[in-house]
Amino acid sequence: VGAGSAPHYLPLASASVLVFVAYYLGAKLGLALTFEPHPISVLWPPNAILLAALLVAPLRWWPLLIVAALPAHLLAELQGGVPAAMVVCWFLSNVSEALIGAGFMRAVIRGRPDLDSLRNVAAFVGAAVLAAFLSSFLDSAFVRLVGWGTADYWELWRSRFSSNVLATLTVAPVIVTWASGSFASLQVFTPTRLAEAAVLVLGLLVAGALVFAVPVVGSGALPALLYLPVPFLLWASLRFGAAGTSAAFMLVALLAIWGAGHGRGPFADGAPVENAQAVQVFLTFVGLMVLVLAAVVQERRNSEERAKEANERLAHISRLAVVGELTASIAHEINQPLGAILNNADAAEILLRSEDPHLDELRNIIDDIRKDDMRAGEVIRHMRSLLRRRELSVQPFDLNSAVEDVLHLVGADLSRHSVTVETVLTPLPIVHGDQIHIQQVVLNLVMNGVDAMKGVPPSRRRLEVVTAHAEDWGIEITVSDTGSGIPAGQMERLFQSFFTTKPDGMGLGLAIARSIVEAHGGSIRAENRRAGGACFRVCLPVRNRKEGWRGARTFARGRRT
Ligand code: ADP
């Protein structure tokens, strides 16, 4: 919050209120999930809530957030008829747990505590275990000291430890991921994603209710049914990141514990203590598994995203390089119409000086000026569209006019090198893809062809650009030249990054071209022509899947090899 806008204490105040409310509701929930006559709940959320709040808040907020939890703690516990001394002691051990957990996380990971990498999840699980482990000694000592309940020290320690580990695994990830806004990155607010999320939630509810809450599917016959919610949890972790996964897991955990506490489902067979332990062990392992899976999936998604960005930057740089080579020709291309415009303006001026200027002729001159101006404008427009750096965008476009645009841009360069161009552009269906990237591929192939023909006599320099229907799966563009051809040993290496035989070559053109084509679901091949020279053939499917780019994976693979 910048100076002069909202008061700077407002976020802290609202965070404190949130902690108060969440801690209170968490305590209520924990009490509701207590197995009688067990004095300790199966899942005790308040500590996890406080821990999560400390995790997402800046260090200087910690004291106030802890203070904000105190009235909530008192309010919830004193209603339950617990002695005041016990209530205060529990607050101390709860705070110690939150401080140990959050402090450990902060020491181990730098930056935000997002659960989107294996490292962060490992640190988080470590924090959950360590905090519950250490603070449970204190907690059990307090309970024995005050003399509350009849359980012995180790029994207390064991059940508090497992209930608090489970609570941290269940509740804290939801708060951490949702508070850090990582849910926004899931782009869940499109109709199809919303529908998918709705089906997932429904599936989770039905599976969870069937297994854990419906008395019909009682205990005993259930070992297989127990895993009914697992596919939905896996679905969440594959598709909805840590935020979606943690929310899905919390739903299942609450259903399972509630069911067990009410004598339903697979965890209601034994004595309460055994039931509590069984449900805790089951949930802890499932929770760990899905959190780790979500992190791994997210990590991979992030690195694909980074690779994609890097590749787009690289593609852009190589476009800059190619167009850079063209500058002399492009300047010529623009100078020509400019010169014609000047000549026409001079002619008009002479006409105007005459007694009776020929208006029709003047009109023709103005018409010519307009046409030349548009010609120059076109060249600049083509160049700019190639040079712009922008997000990849998949759109329908006409391949033939895209190819024509490229040939127009390189036209002057081709004639400077005395290259004759033959084009055969077959009428084709609309292609879905990134037009600029496909143009970049064509541009690279054309420029390579020109380079390859430098050694042959000017009269034999011929470039053929053909678009055609390809067998069953789409369309193809071939660019063939009458140049040196490709030496036998080099055919394999053409598309490798940094393979070049040119003194000033970068060796990236074909590697990037292949990445682009493969990302469009197509393929690119090179062959030597019988009559001499090389032929590059690009096949593209007519209709790509909507996202068009099959992502950075293909792009990255193209680059590495
Ligand atoms: P660069 O053009 O910077 O060398 P490319 O990846 O575009 O990088 O090309 C790699 C190599 O492939 C070139 O150096 C050249 O040896 C070979 N090559 C590409 N196109 C042709 C062609 N049309 N004819 C012969 N060799 C070619």
What digits encode the pLDDT tens for the residues 471-484?
766 899 999 999 99
Q: Residue 545 has what pLDDT?
A: 43
Confidence band for 121, pLDDT divided at 50, 70 and 90: very high
- Tell me the pLDDT tens digit for each residue of 421-431: 999 999 988 88
- Tell me the pLDDT tens digit for each residue of 122-139: 999 999 999 999 999 999
Q: Is 500 in the pocket of ligand 1 (CB under 6 A)?
A: yes
Residue nearest ligand 1's atom 7 by CA: 509
Among 109-123, 214-228, 389-403, name the most confident range.
109-123
Tell me how far the alpha carbon of residue 56 lies from the centroid of ligand 1, in angstroms: 52
Q: What's the gap between Cα 336 and its chain centre?
A: 47
DSSP 356: S
DSSP 355: S
Q: Is 510 in the pocket of ligand 1 (CB under 6 A)?
A: yes
Confidence band for 57, pLDDT divided at 50, 70 and 90: very high
Q: Residue 103 has what pLDDT?
A: 95
Q: Is 499 in the pocket of ligand 1 (CB under 6 A)?
A: yes
Mean pLDDT on 463-477: 89
Tell me how far the alpha carbon of residue 500 lies from the centroid of ligand 1, in angstroms: 6
Non-local (6+) Cβ contacts of 6 within 8 A are: none
pLDDT surpassing 60 at residue 218: no
pLDDT surpassing 90 at residue 107: yes
Tell me how far the alpha carbon of residue 505 lies from the centroid of ligand 1, in angstroms: 8
Q: How far apart are CA 110 and CA 233, in angstroms?
A: 29
Q: How far apart are CA 211 and CA 446, in angstroms?
A: 64
Q: How far apart are CA 458 and CA 261, in angstroms?
A: 89
pLDDT surpassing 60 at residue 4: no
Q: What's the gap between Cα 42 and its chain centre?
A: 36
Tell me how far the alpha carbon of residue 396 lies from the centroid of ligand 1, in angstroms: 30
Whether 399 and 428 have beta carbons less than 8 Å apart is answered as yes
Confidence band for 69, pLDDT divided at 50, 70 and 90: very high
Q: How far apart are CA 260 and CA 278, in angstroms?
A: 10
Q: Which two tokens stand for residue 559?
A: 């680059």
Q: Which of 86-100, 374-388, 509-523 has the lowest mean pLDDT?
A: 374-388
Whether 215 and 152 have beta carbons less than 8 Å apart is answered as no
Mutational test site, ligand 1, from 510, 537, 561, max ligand atoms within 8 Å of CB: 510
What sign does the dihedral 90-92-94-96 (CA atoms) show?
Answer: negative
pLDDT surpassing 70 at residue 389: no
- Tell me the pLDDT tens digit for each residue of 347-370: 999 999 988 888 899 999 999 999
- Tell me the pLDDT tens digit for each residue of 291-344: 999 999 989 988 888 888 887 887 787 778 777 777 777 787 788 889 999 999
Residue nearest ligand 1's atom 16 by CA: 501
Q: Is 483 in the pocket of ligand 1 (CB under 6 A)?
A: yes
DSSP 117: S
pLDDT surpassing 80 at residue 94: yes
Tell me how far the alpha carbon of residue 544 lies from the centroid of ligand 1, in angstroms: 28
CA proximity to 266, closest of 223, 232, 207? 223
Higher pLDDT, 559 or 187: 187
Whether 545 and 469 have beta carbons less than 8 Å apart is answered as no
Confidence band for 552, pLDDT divided at 50, 70 and 90: very low
pLDDT surpassing 80 at residue 177: yes
Higher pLDDT, 543 or 17: 17
Residue nearest ligand 1's atom 17 by CA: 494
Q: Residue 3 has what pLDDT?
A: 43
Atom of ligand 1 nearest to the CA of 504: 3
| DSSP secondary structure string for all residues of 58-104 | -GGGHHHHHHHHHHHHHHHHHHTT--HHHHHHHHHHHHHHHHHHHHH
Confidence band for 45, pLDDT divided at 50, 70 and 90: very high
pLDDT surpassing 50 at residue 555: no
Question: Is the bond preceding residue 71 a cis peptide, omega within 30 degrees?
Answer: no
Is residue 504 classed exposed, middle or buried when 0-12, 13-18 and 19+ CB atoms within 10 A define those classes?
Answer: exposed
Tell me how far the alpha carbon of residue 235 lies from the centroid of ligand 1, in angstroms: 45
Tell me how far the alpha carbon of residue 452 lies from the centroid of ligand 1, in angstroms: 8
Tell me how far the alpha carbon of residue 380 lies from the centroid of ligand 1, in angstroms: 27
Confidence band for 216, pLDDT divided at 50, 70 and 90: low
Q: Is 494 in the pocket of ligand 1 (CB under 6 A)?
A: yes
DSSP 210: I
Q: Is 534 in the pocket of ligand 1 (CB under 6 A)?
A: yes
Residue nearest ligand 1's atom 26 by CA: 486
pLDDT surpassing 50 at residue 544: no
Higher pLDDT, 176 or 506: 176
In 239-388 the beta strands, taken as DSSP E runs, fall at none
Percent of the chain with pLDDT over 90: 50
Please give the model's pTM, rounded to 2 decimal places: 0.67
Among 27-36, 80-89, 185-194, 457-466, name the most confident range.
457-466
Q: Is 509 in the pocket of ligand 1 (CB under 6 A)?
A: yes
Q: Residue 546 has what pLDDT?
A: 43
Q: Residue 543 has what pLDDT?
A: 64
Q: Residue 20 has what pLDDT?
A: 96
Q: Are strands 420-425 and 462-470 parallel, antiparallel or unpaired?
A: parallel
Average pLDDT, the chain: 86
